[in-house]
Amino acid sequence: MTSLAHAPADPTDLVAARYGGNLPGLLGPVNQTLELLYNHRSVRQFEPTPLDEATLTSLIAAGQSAATSSNLQTWSVVEVSDPGHKDAVAALAGDQDFIREAPVFLVFVADWSRNRLIAEHRGEPTEGVEFIDSTLVSVVDAALAAQNTVIAAESLGLGTVYVGAVRNHVEELSELLELPDGAFPVVGLAIGRPRPDAAGSIKPRLPQSVVRHRERYAVPGTEALAEYDATLQAYYQAEGEPRGWIDAVVQRVRSRLSLHGRDRIRGVLERRGLPSR
């Protein structure tokens, strides 16, 4: 199994790096799958080499191997590799050049259109699609498939990065991709071979004491959050982009402006046949 470059040789070092240099506790057995997961990092610099059809078929097969609610399979994926089409998609998804640079950009779609059509062909109503749980089911299905695809890609030595900005202009992107009613883009995924100069360090996550709750939820103390903020500031400083985590959280939650148009998604869903009531 091939991992991305710049990984520490010892899997324990990978876990320590994930927590800013500190192990969260005694680790259990480590295998190649866990090592691959611990070694995850986003890649935004890609070689221009295209991905062959067989590799893409394998990646989609991995995506379809993910769990899906009641086997309803309420997701689809749109593969974008034509340079002109990719440029148009990138313009609607944060105008990020790495989307243009990646040989393929996958848009994972929450998709009730297919199952709705099945019911309609039977002459049955489709009221069940209209509720928020159905929307959540399709989003979770799409996200699970996307994550399986990421793991499969990284196991082949490929680099990936998620793009939530596909939701910045949901209606325009849905039209560009010719999505039917009952379908909307959830997340994009740029995939390709990392350039030799691609950033390769592991980004620290919150300590387990903050996200791991035993039996009942425990509100984290400010000290643990402040310590993590300092850890992430040191990480970004080493990457040449000094910033912190707490400031980013505050900026994200303080105003709808931080959503870059995604505050309108509820109305878009309703217009696209998913009222989510």
- Note the pTM of the prediction, 2 decimals: 0.93
Query: How many C-beta atoms lie closer than 10 Å to residue 162's C-beta?
Result: 16
Strand partners, 61: none
* 124 three-class SS: coil
Structural domain includes residue 172: yes
* Residue-level pLDDT at 202: 93
Best CA proximity match to 104, nearest among 66, 60, 41, 170: 60
End-to-end CA distance of the chain: 45
Q: How many CA atoms lie within 13 A of 222 on its CB side?
A: 0
Average pLDDT for residues 54-59, to the nearest whole number? 98
The whole-angstrom separation of Cα 158 and Cα 191 is 7
The whole-angstrom separation of Cα 63 and Cα 154 is 13
Structural domain includes residue 111: yes
CB 186 within 8 A of CB 265: no
Query: What's the domain count of the chain?
Result: 1
DSSP state, 131?
Answer: S
The whole-angstrom separation of Cα 174 and Cα 9 is 43
- Each residue's pLDDT tens digit, 244-272: 999 999 999 999 999 999 999 999 999 99
Q: What's the residue count for the chain?
A: 277
The whole-angstrom separation of Cα 46 and Cα 174 is 26
Structural domain includes residue 264: no
Best CA proximity match to 104, nearest among 41, 199, 225, 193: 193
The whole-angstrom separation of Cα 201 and Cα 239 is 9
The whole-angstrom separation of Cα 119 and Cα 127 is 10
Which CATH number characterizes residue 96's domain?
3.40.109.10
Structural domain includes residue 256: no
DSSP string across 27-82 = -----HHHHHHHT------B-SPPPPHHHHHHHHHHHHTS--GGG---EEEEEE--
- Each residue's pLDDT tens digit, 112-164: 999 999 999 999 999 999 999 999 999 999 999 999 999 999 999 999 999 99
Residue scoring higher pLDDT (268 or 57): 57
Q: Supply the range of the domain harboring residue 63.
A: 41-200
Instruction: For tokens 């959540």, name the residue.
Output: 136
What confidence category does residue 9 fall into, taking pLDDT thresholds of 50, 70 and 90? Answer: low
Structural domain includes residue 263: no
Structural domain includes residue 19: no
Burial of 137 (0-12, 13-18, 19+ CB in 10 A): buried
The whole-angstrom separation of Cα 220 and Cα 225 is 8
Amino acid at 151: I
Structural domain includes residue 18: no
Q: Is residue 239 scored above 90 in pLDDT?
A: no
Structural domain includes residue 49: yes
